Amino acid sequence: MPIKTSISFGMVYIPVSLHAAVKNSDISFNMLHKKYNSKISYKKTCPECEGDVAASDIVKGYQYAKDQYVVLTDEDFEKIKTPKDKTIKIEQFVSLNEIDPIFYDKAYYIKPEGGERAFCLLKEAMKSENKVGIAKIVFNNKETLVALRADNNQLLLSTLFFNEEIQKNPVQNLNVELSPKEIDLAKTIIENMSEKFEAGKFKDEYKERLLSAISAKINGREIVAPKAVQDNKIINLMEALQESIKQTQSKKSKFPEKKETAVKTKKVSKAV
């Protein structure tokens, strides 16, 4: 379901709608009673009346003391929103490389719902300057930090985590002294394994095996476990690095890079 909103930068106002850029393709399972293969149901009950509660009778409550709640309705949530909360107001522009990828959450395509000229102007100007617009908007009764960026011929919005939501890394600074040779070998492995990123070449192989297993069970066949590939584990780091170079170099040699053939030209002397 598209989200209706608007973008503003300076005095420019653009009505837009947001469309989810990613779909969930997970395989879902139902919880069944082992004995009867019947679907488990989850009932919403009330301890006061000991009866089932319909969805229409459920409200949102905030607990401010033990067993004490204050109820907020949908109308209450709408009343506390300001016009600013309903608009994606760009507060500043930053360079794309200034945003650590750890802050990115969900992505949306931005579609203009009028004001196409202003929309295209913003997109082209951001693309030309290689800048990202930072703004805030209220999504589902929660203020959300967002980044607007121009990618190819489209404008995208990504929700961002606030700084206080990012957890501290449990790995502290490790005082490990590495030798220059170890670093050079590791860099060689990285160079051998470096390729241009093509998203289409990566598939969800586990999902394919899971679907195959489901099909086998439906048709009364046993699930056959794939043969395990035996890894020759090397404990010594230097030996592991050297062996890795051999393997990655061998893999890279199977797909040699295309080299442009130099065209030799002969100089022709002109008679005067």
Tokens describing residue 127:
């693309």
Query: What is the pTM for the complete model shown?
Result: 0.73
To the nearest whole percent, how much of the chain has pLDDT over 70? 89
Each residue's pLDDT tens digit, 237-247: 888 888 889 88
Each residue's pLDDT tens digit, 68-89: 999 999 888 888 877 677 789 9
Tokens describing residue 265:
């030209």
H/E segment holding residue 216 = helix 205-218
Each residue's pLDDT tens digit, 8-67: 998 899 999 999 999 888 899 999 999 999 999 888 888 888 788 888 899 999 999 998
- How many Å apart are CA 240 and CA 249, to the nearest integer? 14
**Tokens 């390729």 label which residue?**
195
Q: Residue ranges per domain, the chain?
A: 3-23+79-165
CATH topology for 3-23+79-165? Ku70; Chain: A; Domain 2 (2.40.290)
